[in-house]
Amino acid sequence: MNALLDFIADPHNNFMGQSITYLRICAISIMLAIVIGVVLAVAVSRSPVLSFIAVNLSGLLRAIPVIAFLVAVVPFLGIGAPPATVALVILGIPPILLNTYTGIRGIDPATIDAAKGMGMTYWQILTRIQAPLILPIVAAGVRTSAVQIVATATLAAITGAGGYGAYIFDGFNTFNKTAILAGAIPVAVLALIIEVAMGWLERALTPIGIRREAVQSQMVVKQGEVAKA
């Protein structure tokens, strides 16, 4: 532990600078993934063909390793933060897109028909009815996406973008366990913080009625299990 603290305190290792770099890469990637994922989901939700293409393409993207994206974009974007950001955004889009699309398609059509009958426009329905209903589901997708991005952003060091990944790679090259821990521990802590914070946000955005229904459903399931026992 003392060796780790000495490593962090050593100005030569620039721990604060690497931390800021890592947080900046993650924050930019998460924000871009949210904007692109939500916009795409809303855009394709009205077209069965586009929805089919978007959903299946998202599933395909999740199967491709991030390092493959890094290798593919480096010739066009060079080294540094841009290729790493692009790769992380591509990694983060699928969970948000799929959750947003699922939330939109899961809304009762009768609710939309009632809104149309009241004379509400498409954008009014989207912002006043659909958005509040799907926010918890979107938050769940953002939660998954953010944790994946934070946990994977160490690969940004491959393109020279810096961050905690630089410590990890240097540690492996020099067999320095302290450097590896200096990179791995902050990433794990940051991912845990985001997981907890987004979990709280997801619960906060869930309407009280839906939360009560979920609790009642769980109670019914438990009662059934007790009866079987």
Tell me the CATH number at 110.
Answer: 1.10.3720.10
What is the band of 193 on the pLDDT scale with cuts at 50, 70, 90? very high
Q: How far apart are CA 73 and CA 115, in angstroms?
A: 45
Measured CA to CA in angstroms, residue 77 lies from 22, 59, 69, 229 at distances of: 19, 25, 12, 61
Confidence of residue 36 (pLDDT cuts 50, 70, 90): very high
Domain count, the chain: 1
Distance CA 134, CA 102 (A): 9
One-letter amino acid at 215 equals V
Q: For residue range 46-102, list pLDDT tens digits in order.
A: 788 888 888 888 778 777 778 787 878 888 887 888 888 988 998 899 999 988 888
Mean local confidence (pLDDT), 200-220: 58
Residue entry with tokens 């609710």: 111
- Residue 219 belongs to domain spanning: 2-228
Residue that has been written with the tokens 């009762």 in this structure: 108
